[in-house]
Amino acid sequence: MKIILASTSSRRKELLTQMGIEFEVKAPEIEEDMSQKVNFKKLSEILSKQKCEDVFNRTKGNRLVIGSDCMVYINKHLLGKPHSREDAINMLTMLSGKWHKVFSRISVMVKDNNGTREYLCHDVKKVKFKKLSTLDIERYIDSGEYADKAGSYAIQGGAGMFVEKIIGNLSTVIGIPTHKLHDILKQENIL
């Protein structure tokens, strides 16, 4: 069976590679609409499903498609991907010295001789950043790593030095809760 990751994220590709999965990548062709009037959990569900369905509907044959979405949530504020350098600075300033939640959702669609099946699961983890100086934030922003990252940071990269404590699975914070995906793949007799 062909396994397709509905994402071009290098960090998600690394996570699947670490799981020992052979897969191909196909970018979803959707616009992420963050302005929908739903809570962040529902929004993450909608976005991960849209990504998965888009790629599933544009591919043929027996296949398993994995779509994912990751969001950062702090004090009733949803932090998606930054729109600008200034937006990223504001996000990292908001996270400085505080606990926040990282919410990752995966959607999986399977087509084989037994029909079509869908799976939807999520994981939430807590992360605490140490107090960041303006210089810490500026240097990190200058690296460019913040771009296209929920909350403007990549925990597996340079922002790892900002993390004082994490409660939960690191892969959830990176972008795919691999322990949850592992269960789905086992259920589908892929692992």
Q: What is the pTM of this model?
A: 0.90
**pLDDT at res. 121:** 94
Q: Which of 33, 54, 69, 112 is catalytic?
A: 69
pLDDT tops 80 at residue 47: yes
Domains, the chain, in order of start with CATH, read 2-187 (3.90.950.10)
Q: Does 183 have pLDDT greater than 90?
A: yes
List of long-range contacts for 90-95, beta carbons under 8 Å, 24+ apart: 91/151, 91/152, 91/153, 92/132, 92/137, 92/140, 92/141, 92/146, 92/152, 92/153, 92/162, 93/132, 93/137, 95/129, 95/132, 95/151, 95/153, 95/162
pLDDT per residue as tens digits for the range 129-176: 999 999 999 999 999 999 989 999 999 999 999 999 999 999 999 989
Annotation says 69 is catalytic = yes
Cα atoms found within 13 Å of the Cα of residue 72, Cβ hemisphere only:
25
- CB 27 within 8 Å of CB 8: yes
Degrees to nearest 5, angle at CA 133 with 131 and 138: 130
Distance CA 6, CA 51 (A): 6
